[in-house]
Amino acid sequence: MPTLNYKDSTIHYEKFGQGKQLLIALHGFADVGETYRNLETSLSPHYTVVALDLPLHGKTIWQNDIYTKEDIIQILRMVIEKYPSDKFVLMGHSMGTRLIMKVLPEFIHQVERLFFLAPDGIRIKGIFNMNLIPVWFRWWAKGRLEKSNRFQGFVSYLYKKGWISKLANAFIHVHLNNPKRRRRLLGQWISHQYFMTYPWQFARLIIEHNIPIDLFYGKKDKIIPPNEGHRFVKRVPHAKMHLLQSDHQLINQELNTRIKEIFE
């Protein structure tokens, strides 16, 4: 099982592919690096793929309650040092793209291409805009949500009254119903303070450095709808947008086929 030792934590990752160029893949919330195995046949001929289990996720043993931008930067540097490549590629799904957007300036002269799958960081309105939630409130809420039985009852009450959606109700119950998931959710919520994204600054950055970017959206995605991508590609002339028949979980055979077509 391939791992990296970072401080007092152990970072697990999946590795596959025979390509000379390195591709580092970051997964979404509540996911794991192994999910990228679904893209093995399309990526392997072109890249050596390192798909990380992010802090608080998968088989990674993370000793802190949260993680920061600097943690992700240092972990990526460790990967690059272990698998040297003059230029490398970054791929992210959902939350993973938010992390990439934030750390990209540190690697701007090394990144040759970006693949964004249902990108979270490009959408910054409504409840998805973590910039709007004060950090002090997140810590205050975390201390109370760690013992979440009473809170889950309150959420059920709100749902029955029709004040929150079915999706929100299900999400909260699933991710607060045992200590491991609760730690992941609350830790990720706090960690978001270090990954506030500003899409138009990001757009200017990749325009200035002419970094190719492919954005993939699922037509059935209710979490990150395609209309966000349409707005983005209007600002970035060299960006390419691809629509799939999928929902938010689009790392599947359809995506694998579409990526193969890009390389043909």
pLDDT value at 143 more than 80? no
How would residue 116 be classed by pLDDT, with cut points 50, 70 and 90?
very high
User: Judging by beta carbons within 10 Å of its beta carbon (0-12, 13-18, 19+), is residue 252 exposed, middle or buried?
Assistant: middle
CA distance 174 to 143: 19
**What average pLDDT does this structure show over 243-253?**
96
Determine the pLDDT at residue 243: 97
Between 126 and 187, residue with greater pLDDT:
187
pLDDT value at 129 more than 50? no
Longest dimension (CA), the chain: 56
Q: What is the set of domains in the chain, with CATH numbers? A: 3-124+197-263 (3.40.50.1820), 130-191 (no CATH)
Residue entry with tokens 């509540």:
30
Per residue in 22-54, pLDDT (tens digit) is 999 999 999 999 999 999 999 999 999 999 999
pLDDT value at 126 more than 50? no
pLDDT value at 253 more than 90? yes
Per residue in 196-220, pLDDT (tens digit) is 888 889 999 999 999 999 999 999 9
